[in-house]
Amino acid sequence: MEALGFYRQAWHGQPASIELLVDNIAAQCPRAIKLPFIRDVFFADIIFHEIGHHIHITKAKQFRERECVADDWARRLGELYLRRRRWYLFPLLKWAGLYTSLRITMPSGE
């Protein structure tokens, strides 16, 4: 499987960094990636996963599998992103029954 991104922790005076492999991400679904929302979801999931690695290493060390911790952070950060930037999608997600499968809690009043 080809990687979609990398997290490199700080080392020998170099700052931590995240690298996204755009060609590999776009190859996942070349036609759908042209739609702004779909593109945002693909990139957000990957960047939030890599940020999860950074949080795990620098702020919230947990003694679990690294990838599981990064996936948990990706879900949390993804939910925050959806609530703030794509709030109007919640009714659609609710209608489609996807918010439970994505582990997204509905905003109050919904």
Written as tens digits, the pLDDT of the chain (110 aa) is: 589 999 999 999 999 999 999 999 888 888 888 888 778 888 888 999 999 999 999 987 788 888 999 999 999 998 888 888 877 777 776 676 655 545 444 444 44
Local structure of 10: helix, strand or coil: coil
Q: Residue 8: what pLDDT?
A: 95
Phi, psi of 12 (to 5 degrees): 50, 50
Q: Count CB neighbours of 53 within 10 A.
A: 22
